[in-house]
Amino acid sequence: MADPMRIRANNKDGVTEVRVLMSHPMESGARKDASGATVPAHYIKDLEATHAGKPVLQAMFSGAVSQNPFLSFKFKGGAKGEKVTVKWVDNKGDSRTDEATIA
């Protein structure tokens, strides 16, 4: 399983800003290693962020996203002390779920 995501969530004036740093190789399947062999594709394909059990962001990624992707988004609502959960699934079936408390 991948390293934990680094998630920060802050609420200001009724809008919650979430910043997520994901640890993932994000291999596109087009790169070759030193011996000339193609490195197999391995990338995050689906991501969902939820607050109070409801989705606030859904995204589909591809191999065109850089290694260890960073994502920032905002949504209306949320209050200090509540949780934001971020979950991703990659093309090999691996997944990761982490959460952060809104500050």
DSSP 81: T
Q: Which domains, from first to last, does the chain contain? A: 6-31+38-101 (2.60.40.10)
* Residue pLDDT tens, the chain, 103 long: 568 999 999 999 999 999 999 999 999 999 999 999 999 999 999 999 999 999 999 999 998 999 999 999 999 999 999 999 999 999 999 999 999 999 9
Does this model's pTM top 0.85?
yes
Nearest Cα to Cα of residue 69 among 93, 90, 55, 84: 90
What pLDDT, on the 0 to 100 scale, is given for residue 3?
Answer: 87
Question: In whole angstroms, what is the distance from residue 27 CA to residue 4 CA?
Answer: 19
DSSP 18: E
DSSP 14: T
What pLDDT, on the 0 to 100 scale, is given for residue 1?
Answer: 56
Dihedral sign of CA atoms 57, 97, 47, 26 in order = positive
